């Protein structure tokens, strides 16, 4: 099989293979086939210029493909971002008091945007805050949010 491919696989076969892989990539949108297609086109150009054997072409294609996959994982892939923990709230998030908050006691606050996945939270404060007062987050302590008037 290798001798057959060595005799009949021409440089333009690699370029056609590369273009086919690029077309597949356009339909998938994963950027995985992009490296394989570009590697095949480069192998076609190398074969056209230097007239290499099929074994060399295959080795160069595998090497370039592995390098493109490694480059994808190293530099181009976006890191996974999670919403777990306390990473998706901001201290400037505003809300309105639903139940009056006495100093160091609980009340309820409805925030304008979700805080850790919810808009209504039990909240505490160091001062008395009347109902319908606008508040902002001072800090989050477990399941309690400490707020202060704006």
Would you state the pLDDT for residue 83? 46
Q: Give the Cα separation of 109 and 150 in Å (integer).
A: 13
pLDDT at 113: 84
What rounded mean pLDDT belongs to the chain? 87
Q: In which band, very low, low, confident or very high, does the pLDDT at 82 lie, cut at 50, 70 and 90? A: very low
SS3 35: helix
Distance (Å, whole) CA 149 – CA 126: 10
The predicted model gives 63-90 an average pLDDT of: 71
Average pLDDT over residues 111-127: 88
CA 2 to chain centre: 41
pLDDT value for 72: 84
How many C-beta atoms lie closer than 10 Å to residue 138's C-beta?
15
What is the Cα–Cα distance from 121 to 108, expressed in whole angstroms? 6
- Give the separation between CA 34 and CA 24, rounded to whole angstroms: 9
Q: What are the structural domain ranges in the chain?
A: 2-76, 94-149
Alpha helices in the chain (DSSP H): 2-8, 11-28, 32-50, 54-71
Does position 62 have pLDDT exceeding 90, yes or no?
Answer: yes
* pLDDT, tens only, 13-27: 999 999 999 999 999
Q: Which of 100, 16, 11 is closest to 56 using CA atoms?
A: 11
Return the CA Rg of the chain.
Answer: 30
Structure confidence at residue 149 (pLDDT): 94
- Judged against a pLDDT cut of 60, whether residue 92 lies above it is answered with yes
Closest CA to 36 of 11, 8, 17: 17
For domain 94-149, give the CATH number: 2.40.50.140
Quick: pLDDT tens for 26-48: 998 778 899 999 999 999 999 99
């Amino acid at each position: 099989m290798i001798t057959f491919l060595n005799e009949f696989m021409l440089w333009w076969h690699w370029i056609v293979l590369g273009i086919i892989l690029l077309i597949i990539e356009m339909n998938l949108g994963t950027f995985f086939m992009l490296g394989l297609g570009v590697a095949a086109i480069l192998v076609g150009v190398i074969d056209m210029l230097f007239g290499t054997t099929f074994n060399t072409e295959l080795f160069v294609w595998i090497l370039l493909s592995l390098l493109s996959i490694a480059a994808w994982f190293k530099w181009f892939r976006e890191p996974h971002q999670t919403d777990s923990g306390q990473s998706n709230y901001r201290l400037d998030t505003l809300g309105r008091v639903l139940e009056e908050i006495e100093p160091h006691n609980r009340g309820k606050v409805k925030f304008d945007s979700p805080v850790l996945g919810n808009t209504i939270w039990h909240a505490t404060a160091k001062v008395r805050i009347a109902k319908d007062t606008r508040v902002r987050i001072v800090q989050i302590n477990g399941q309690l949010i400490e707020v202060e008037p704006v």
